[in-house]
Every structure is written in structure tokens, then in C-alpha cells.
A and B are shown apart, each in its own frame.
Chain A
Amino acid sequence: MYRPLRQRLMDLSPLDLRLAGALVAMAALSGCASDGGGVQSQKLAAIQSRGSLVCGVEGKLPGFSFVESSGAYSGLDVDVCKAVAAAVLGDPAKVQYRDLNSSERFAALASGEVDLLSRNTTATLSRDAAGGNGLSFAPTVFYDGQGVMAPKASGIQGLKDLAGKPICVETGTTTELNLADRMREIKAPYTPLKFQTSDQTYAAYLQGRCEAVTSDRSQLAGKRSSFPDPGAHNLLPDVLSKEPLAPATTNADPAWSDAVRWVVFALMQAEESGITQANIDAKLAEAKANTNLADLRRFLGVEGDFGKHLGLPADFVVKAVKAVGNYGEIFARNVGTGSPLKLERELNRQWNQGGLLYSPPFR
């Protein structure tokens, strides 16, 4: 149905006009900041013009994100931030870290305070769905499960022994719900003591207020490594839930979410292809010299325009791997058997070695 413009304009309320004005202003502001081969991502443009990536992390979890005595952040989650910063900005050091507790993390992401949430966050339906938290999850970087830790001296061997006892748990986590569900299943009443930060939770546990503390097994192992006497605490055999920990962005900017997703996949693919921090330069030279290595050439950005599709530089994979190494190296350095956490790869092995890591093809 055609109606003259003047008539259509008259249908608009003053409110609509004001809204339209704001939209025009926003479009004008963002219009000058979009380039990168037709990829429209305000987030990418904002990060590039700011010159740094703002990454939300836990900040107090050894192995995942932790401030070293030198003042630098380190950990598996931190390395994801660094890899993304290297891919987008060419420099893994251009990251501003924000420590977020479990209840503020989603609000910080939704409000745009952080560009990327790399904070041992479990991917779930309600967090992913547009009607829930409206997040967009990158590939799982750590397949975890909820566990329970209790002092060795208490003689607690499993969940059943915890009936009627107080258990410390961090509020606002999936952990809280899983604990309630499992304890209900085995018909064991218990007292949940909830704290807002992980520091408070473990402080109360170490003070002996609760008989056990529950969280993701990796987090328990990480925290235990910083206890005064790590040997005095047992991880119980019970695994209460699946906890796939994944970086997250918001649903608002799909192009940015895609870029993050493929940087993470690149770290996994690099391990599968045998590309490491040490041999990346040699591999790159090999790819450049030999036109028959089509897969490698595409992966490293020697040919094709995968980077451009994502709004990233053509050699984003090279930059990311150079910065932090492949997934296997990241795992080994931060949480593996050589680190204080001493975690096995288990589910976090490559798909062709019995694990769950599976990068879709770079095609």
C-alpha cells in the first residue's frame, strides 16, 4: 500500500521522531567506523578504535585467571583474551582485564562494559537463549564438571555423607542449582551457605564453617593449589553436573561473536594440525613456499580471505598462535600436569584422541 511520505510522517508520534533522531545520530557515529570487507561489527570497530580489548575474567582463580606476583594476569581464560586481542589488534598485551564476580558478569557483558567474557562460565540454555541472558557462547574451552571438596580429616567420602551438613557455595552460579537438584535426588537435606565472591566462599570453608565446598572441579583444584595445606583436602569422586566452560559475547553483534568463535577454533585446529608457538614461523614459511599445502595455506591466511570474512586480519591465526600457542600448549601451561593444578586432559583432548575438542574445518 502506497501512502505519501508526508502522510506517513504525520502518523509518527513525537516519541517516534525522537527515537528516529537518536537512531540517525547513532548511525552517523557508527558509520565512520565500519570497514573490513563488508563485515558490519560495531564491536570490532570499537575495539580497534579503542586500541584494546576489554576482557571480563574471574581474576582470583589460579590456572584460569589469576594475578601473578608480577602483577600480570595469567591462566587459560586469560590466554583466550590474549589470543583474541592478538587476532584483532595484533598484540596480545592490548587487553584490559576486568575482574567480575559471578553475579555481575552477565550485566557487565550486556551493558558493553566488557567486550568478551572469558570467565569460567558454564554454557547453558537459559544463558544462551535470547529470552534468557541472551549470550552467544564461543566453543567450550574447558569441559568441566561440578565437584565437591572436603577436608581429608572429616572422613567424608561422598555426597551421602554430607546429609544434614552445611555446604559452601557461590551464589548466582549453576553450581547452586545442581547442588540442590542432586541433594534432592538422594533425599539428603543440607544447609547451603551462599557467598557472593569465591574468596568469601573459600574463606568460610577454610574457617571450617561448612563441611564441604562445591564448585567446578577445575576451580576446586585451582583454589586448592593456593590453600596453605593443599594435601589436606579431598576432591570427592562425585561429579554433579556437566560444566562446559566457554567464553561468551552478547547476541547483539553476531559478527563479533563469529570472530571470537573462530579465534578459539583456530587454537584447537592449530593443535590438531601440529602447529605450535615454536614452529609457527617454520610452518608459515613452508605454507608460503609450497602451493600444494592448500589446507595449511588457508588456515594461516596465505591464501583465501577467511580473515576478511570475520573482519579480522588475514593472518589472525598466525598472530593468535604466536601469542599464546595452540590449545594443547595453553592447557599444559596453565592447568595441565606440569602446572600446580595437575589436571589431566580427559575430556579436553582432541576428538581424534578420545576427547571432545573438534574444530569445524577452516573452509
Chain B
Amino acid sequence: MPAAVTPWWRNRRLIPWLAQAAAGLVLLVLVAFLLGNLVRNLTAAGLLLSWGWIDNPAGFDIAETLLPFQADMPYWRALLAGLVNTLRVVVVGLVGATLLGTLVGVAAFSSNGLLRRLARIYVEVIRNIPLLLQLVFWYFVVFLALPGGSAAIQLPGVVLAKSGLYLGSPELVNGQWQAPLRFTVEFSALLTGLVVYTAAFIAEVVRGGVAAVPRGQWEAARSLGFSHLQMLQRIVLPQALRVIVPGLNSQYISLAKNSSLAVACGYTDLYSVAETTLNQTGRAVEVVLILLGSYLLINLVISALMNGLNALVQLRER
């Protein structure tokens, strides 16, 4: 008996394909319509994308830059210097938040009751206060209240003054501190705010990860005579990482995005430079596109790295 011919509308391969194609087409038409609409309206308003301004001299200064910058350099260089400033606080912030967050997260399992409670209080207080308020607090209440000049807090090799944190044998020259390595109070306040805030969330992720390791693993480790530290280091944390890493990814991304609150404490990041650029050139659409693209790129890179790390720590079938 010959096999019955399946009608095409019941073809299990064709139908999903057709559905996908139809959905894709609808999406394409929608995007084309929106883009067409944008271009049409921008043309009508005389705001069609143009990039000539980006080579014009910026004309404004930036307080602290890793990438050398002067007012007579073009806008793109100013934006790049802003991007580098953003990356600087994000990279240092990620490292700091991870260290602090892991410590606090692990402290939740400490045998010391006081430490456990302190970790809880820290997490609950910090994650329930808006970051913007915390940044304003760190900058105006903590860092700007530091004494300046010769009254600054001086430790061997470190000076903490109103104008910043100086490392590596600081000297007082004409009432101003000078040192090989200097972090301004703006950078320090932003970094502190981001690290303290993000660490509270990371601590919860770490706590969740550690809690996900079955009780039996702890007991087995203890019965083998591991110390508490060894137990964490050798048995629990490696297993917890599988749960922690995906959660960390979104916290890292939050930190990168939250860095755009820098302007609250006077740090000149990409957002701050973009805002000045926008105000001076009036090219709102272009500048916002640059901003969108930059933050998207930063976060995609963070995601890609974290996905790579995730693949490394996942359980491999043997």
C-alpha cells in the first residue's frame, strides 16, 4: 500500500518554516515602517542624521581623563575620552563589587553570628535605598566632608584629602597634594557608591549559589576533616559558581548601566560628555544613538565574557 501523501498544510517541516517566515516578514515590514517614519519626520524637522559636527572642536574641557584630551580636540575625541572614563569606573567597579559581594555573600554562612547579622543588615539597607541617593550621600556627605590641605588624612604612602585619594608617597606642594597615582573624590565617590550598591546584590546571588549546594556536600567535606575555609574553597564555591555566574552577569550589566549616574557626583563619564555635546551641537538624535550604541556594546562584551566563563564552570559530562 503506497504511503498516503501528507497535504502541505499538515507538513511538519513546512508549516513551522512558513510560520517563521511570516513572522519575520511582519517584523521586517514593521521595522521598515518605523524607520521610514523616523527618516520622514526627521527630514521634515531638518534633523536628518548628519555626522559632520563630530569633527568640530569640542571647546569644553574634561576634568580627568585617561585618554589625553584638550578643549581644541574634536567631539569624537571628547566622547571617546568619556567612554574611556566610563570603562575605567566600570572595570574597577566590577572587580571591587565582586570581591566585596563574595565576602558578604559568604559571610551569610559564617559560624559567627555577628558577622551573619551584619551581612544581612548590609544587604537589606543598601539594596533598598536608591542608588542616586547613595551616590549623592557618598559624594556630598562623606567625601566632600574630608579635610583638605595639610589637615588631610595621612597614612604611610596614602593621603585621603578633599581633592582626592593620593597613592605612592604623596607630597604637599603649594597647599595641593601631588602623587604618582591619584583618584579624584568624584571618581572615588562614584566607585564607592557603585561597588557598595552592586555588592549587596552580588552578595545575594552568591548566597543563593552557596545555598544551592546540597547540605550533604558540606557534611561530606566536614567528615573528611576539611577546615571551614577549605570546605568553602575546595568543595562549596566551585559548585556554587555554576549557579552564581548567570546571576552575576545581570549584576555586572546593571553596574555598567548605573555608571551613567556619574553626573550626580561630578564625574565626567560618557553620559556627561554626551550631554554637553548634545547641548552644544543640538544633534540630539545622533548623540543619543552614540550613547545607546556605546552602552549596548559595553554590555554585550560583558555578557559575552560572562557566557564564556559560564561555559567554563558548568558541569561537563564525562
Tell yes or no: A73 within 8 A of B by CB: no
Nearest chain A residue, comparing its CB with the CB of B64:
A191
| Chain A: minimal CB distance from B37 (Å) | 7
Tell yes or no: B279 within 8 A of A by CB: yes
Tell yes or no: B62 within 8 A of A by CB: yes
Tell yes or no: B17 within 8 A of A by CB: no
Q: Which of A131, A134, A179, A208 contacts B144 (CB 8 A)?
A: A208
Assuming the contacts A131-B46, A192-B62, asked whether A208 and B162 have C-beta atoms less than 8 A apart, the reply is: yes
Tell yes or no: A204 within 8 A of B by CB: yes
Distance between Cα atoms of A102 and B275 in the complex (Å): 11
CB atoms of A203 and B59 under 8 A apart: no
CB atoms of A172 and B46 under 8 A apart: no
Stretch among B115-123, B194-202, B214-222, B260-268 lining the A interface = B260-268
| Chain A: minimal CB distance from B251 (Å) | 26
User: Chain B contacts of A195 at CB under 8 A?
Assistant: 263, 266
Tell yes or no: B127 within 8 A of A by CB: no
User: Chain A contacts of B61 at CB under 8 A?
Assistant: 179-180, 183, 190-192
User: Chain B contacts of A176 at CB under 8 A?
Assistant: 60, 276
Nearest chain B residue, comparing its CB with the CB of A206:
B144
Distance between Cα atoms of A345 and B59 in the complex (Å): 32
Q: Which of A166, A180, A194 has the most CB of B within 10 A?
A: A194
Tell yes or no: A177 within 8 A of B by CB: yes
Nearest chain B residue, comparing its CB with the CB of A132:
B282
Residues of A near any B CB (own CB < 8 A): 15, 19, 102-103, 106-107, 126-127, 130-134, 164, 166, 171-173, 176-177, 179-181, 183-184, 190-196, 200, 203-204, 207-209
Kindly list the 5 A-B residue pairs having the minimum CB-CB distance in the complex, ordered from nearest. Answer: A207-B144, A172-B279, A132-B282, A180-B71, A191-B63
Supplied contacts A171-B272, A193-B266, 14 more A-B pairs, CB within 8 Å? A103-B278, A103-B279, A126-B281, A131-B46, A166-B163, A171-B263, A172-B276, A176-B60, A180-B61, A190-B61, A191-B63, A194-B272, A207-B140, A207-B162
Q: List 7 A-B contacts (CB under 8 A).
A: A15-B37, A106-B279, A184-B71, A204-B266, A207-B145, A207-B162, A208-B148
